[in-house]
Structure 1
Amino acid sequence: MGVGDNRSLNQVHSKDVNEDSGSEFHCELGSFEHRVFRQFRVLSATEEDELLSLNWVSMLLDAFITCQEDFIVMLLKNESNLLKAPLDRYVTEFFDMIIKALDICNAVRDGMEKIRVWHKRLEIVLGAFDSTSRNVMVEAQFRRAKKGLTDLAMIMLDDDKETASVFAYGNRSFVSPNKGKDDQQKAGHSRSVSWSVPNSWSASKQLQLIASGLSPPRGHEISATNGLANDVYTMGFVLMFVLWALVFVIPCQDRGLQVHFSVPRQFTWGAPLSLLHSRIMDESKKRERKNSVGLLKEIEQMEKSVHLVTGLVDSVNLFPLSEEQKEAVKMGVQEVAQVCNTFKNGLDPLERQLREVFHKIMSCRTEGLEILGRAQS
């Protein structure tokens, strides 16, 4: 299926999402469920060449932050009901889920550090050709570029071993190391906020535990909680879905992609999330055939540029180069430069945003437990 066909298919799905908006299922305009629907409707309609890009991931995190802020407001408005059965069980399970979510955030941060390592190697390759703009190309440049490309290829192929060697002694978590023990205990999960995940940890297993623990409330539970059980379940599913998408796009530790869950269609937000799920799964099938280390669009661009430049470097045997060869190398170097520039401008803002998400998730649990404490008094 070509890009044009994919866009046509997405337009059909987008039409379905808009029609769902009109019906609203059983969801009132302005309700928490409806606000979640609006956030993810925009993401589900993303153009094909933008899906799973750094910018798209940033939009995904923005949507999550907005949903969680609305969720906290909803909890504050309903403090008196949070300890009543069966809502108390849903709230408790949600706060337990947050503990697992913090580990995944740390693993994603480690994955971003891995991309930084690749970026540095790619800059070495780019630096080898720093005189191409002056039309100067000598054998020494190609030797340096070839070494840089070989180092990068070895790092990317030896994924598990490299993860351990790069991060084993210097992992950074999203909490400053000078945070006191009281702060860590208040967060409710000292291991996650003080250090990164151990080598035996599995992103896919952690995600599966979260997904398996989610189940929509039954009709009598919805009635008994005046719909609040739906809101807590909705936020839990959004959290799981966002984490799942992050593990898909960023090369996390043990990121096996066969995490089984289905998007419930009885909720208004089910339509855009189901569309996103389908589109991401379709992309994963295409990329898995190429043995991609991550579904981030910029990783795909990096892989293509590396393949192109490697072919050019390997094909050059005689110097000086012909004008045709020089032009081909210049074009390849321009592609590498574009990828390097994208990483240079995009990784830092995304990591800051992911850090904010980590703290938002941690604060949600802290605030939620405080709300429960006030309700008990």
Structure 2
Amino acid sequence: MPSTHNPGSSSPLTSFGRSIWSRREPFHSIEADHESSEQELELQSFQKLVVDLFHDLSAVSADELLSIAWIRKLLDVFVSCLDEFRVLLLKNKAQVSKPPLDHWADEYLDRSLKALDICNATRDGIEKIRTWHKHLEIVMCALESRKRAFSEGQFRRARKALMDLTLEMLDERDSGSVFSHRNWSFGRNNPRKDARRRQHSSGNSSGHSRSHSWSISNSWSAAKQLQSIANNLIAPRGNEIVATNGLAGSVYTMSSVLTFVLSALVAAIPCQDRALSTHFSIPQQYSWEEQKVEVEQELQELASICENFKNGLDPLERQIRQVFRRIMNCRTEGLEILSRANNLE
């Protein structure tokens, strides 16, 4: 899942960090001539945490960006940011429940609800990759030989596995895949998958891992969902930052972090309407003897890919489940804060 972009000094990730850091300047300068309050220090600490963590993430090569290892680091960063953001909300319940901050909080909660479907889509995408991994393992087994020459039967078996993999990828891309037949409403389980995963699960697999936001239809699109999440994501104006004592800036920062993380997940993991676009062309015949060295080199790369899948997919899925729960718990707490304020009015 590597990126084809070079994350140099002008990379989107670096620009993202600079844009987030710029959000701390307005409310930092407002009280520049006064002793900073505890709240201001907490807000600045949150902004600095986000910038530092994403700065560390940006120090990667093009091959590492969007790899399983990098995505796992990104999810760790997201959980750290979300935990700090949650603390800010809980410490400032009174302000969160009053205008104009309640509007910013409500928009973030709406984005977090939509994020749950992205989490589910990426988990199903991981299931796709597991299936692809099985086909690649067949290729590895077929061509794994210590003999000097490969046999024709080995290549037939490997070619069939590659053809099956290609057809599966193209079928999912063209037909909308199995997502269209699944209901993602809250509480739905896939018993077969849950039984298979239970031994790998770090916690209770009790069915709260499916989004309760809405039921997925044939027209559901990861790209459109991301667009919906990013809509109206506009930095707060100076007067809004002043009116909310800087909290609007923190909500905007967390919304930006959420949007970026979801975009990275969709870019790295095949989702509905965002399937792998690569088209494989497998010729009918090969000059195998002339390309034996090249085949062996490709097998080494394929072995590395299979090893990454084998060691990385299960931990990655557990992290996505954790992110799902953290987003849902934070959203529940936010809704409780807003609902209590409405009941008091």
What is the TM-score of this pair, normalised by structure 2?
0.76
Which residue does 1:260 correspond to in 2? none
Residue aligning to 1:120? 134
1:60 counterpart = 2:74? yes
Q: 2:56 aligns with which of 42, 48, 58?
A: 42
Tell me the matched-pair count. 308
The one of 144, 148, 152 aligned to 2:165: 152
Q: Measure, in 1, the Cα distance between the counterparts of 2:242 and 2:70.
A: 37
Give 2:334's aligned residue. 368
Deviations 1:81-131 (A, max 9, x none): 11221011111111112121111111112222221121111111112123x
Structure 2 residue corresponding to 1:293, chosen from 261, 267, 277: 277
Q: 2 CA distance for matches of 1:84 and 1:159? A: 47
Q: Which amino acid aligns with 1:25?
A: E
Task: Identify the residue that residue 265 of structure 1 maps to in structure 2.
Answer: none
* C-alpha RMSD of matched pairs (Å): 3.7
Q: Deviation digits for residues 256-285 of structure 1, max 9, x if unmatched?
A: 9xxxxxxxxxxxxxxxxxxxxxxxxxxxxx
Confirm whether residue 314 of structure 1 aligns to residue 285 of structure 2.
yes
Shifted more, 364-373 versus 88-97: the winner is 364-373
Task: Report % sequence identity.
Answer: 49
- The 5-angstrom pairing of residues 67-106 of structure 1 reads 67-106=81-120
User: What does residue range 133-148 of structure 1 map to in structure 2 within 5 Å?
Assistant: 133-135=146-148, 137-148=150-161
What is the aligned partner in structure 2 of residue 201 from structure 1?
220
Code of the aligned partner of 1:104: I
| Deviation, structure 1 residue 200 | 1.5
2:231 is the alignment partner of 1:212:
yes
* TM-score where L is the length of structure 1: 0.70
Letter in 2 for 1:101: A
Change (3 A) 1:75 1:16: closer
Amino acid corresponding to residue 336 of structure 1 in structure 2: L
For residue 254 of structure 2, the aligned residue among 226, 230, 235 is 235
The letter of the residue matching 1:369 is: L
The SS at the match of 2:73 is helix
How far the C-alpha of 1:363 sits from its partner, in A, is 0.8
Q: Which residue of 1 aligns with 2:313?
A: 347
Structure 1: gaps spanning 5 or more residues: 257-291, 295-302
2:112 corresponds to which letter in structure 1? I
Does the Cα contact within 8 Å between 2:185 and 2:212 map onto a contact in 1?
no
Question: What SS is found at the alignment partner of 2:25?
Answer: coil
Alignment pair present for 1:225 and 2:225? no
Q: CA deviation at 1:370?
A: 2.5
Q: 1:331 aligns with which of 297, 318, 343?
A: 297
Distance in 1 of aligned mates of 2:257 and 2:61: 21
In the aligned structure 2, how far is the partner of 1:367 from the partner of 1:93?
14
Q: Which deviations, in whole Å up to 9, do the C-alpha atoms of 1:19-58 show, x marking residues without a partner? A: x979973457743222211111111232232111111111
1:330, distance to aligned residue in structure 2 (A)? 2.9
Evaluate the alpha carbon distance shift between residue 17 and residue 329 of structure 1 in structure 2; reply closer, same or farther with a 3 A threshold: closer
Change in 2 beyond 3 A, CA 1:222/1:325: closer
Counterparts of 1:24 and 1:223, CA distance in 2: 12
Asked if 1:252 corresponds to 2:223, the answer is no
Cα 1:52–1:140 change in 2 (3 A) is same
CA distance in 2, matches of 1:217, 1:22: 12
What SS class does the counterpart of residue 64 from structure 2 fall into? coil
More helix by share: 1
Cα–Cα, structure 1 residues 49 and 102, in superposed 2: closer, same or farther, change >3 Å?
same
SS at match of 1:314: coil
Deviations 1:269-327 (A, max 9, x none): xxxxxxxxxxxxxxxxxxxxxxx638xxxxxxxx9xx88xx67x93247xxx5xx6544
- Asked if the contact 2:114–2:229 (Cα under 8 Å) also holds between the matched residues in 1, the reply is yes
Q: What's the CA shift string for 1:216-239, capped at 9, x where partnerless?
A: 222221111101111111111211
C-alpha distance in structure 2 between counterparts of 1:199 and 1:22, whole Å:
40
1:191 deviates by 4.8
Quickly say closer, same or farther: Cα 1:94–1:325, change in 2 above 3 A. closer
Structure 2 gaps of 5+ residues are 29-39, 192-206
Secondary structure class of the residue paired with 1:315: coil
1:33 counterpart residue number: 47
- Higher mean C-alpha deviation, range 120-129 or range 71-80: 120-129
Distance 1:172 1:235, change over 3 A: same
Q: Secondary structure at the match of 1:226?
A: coil
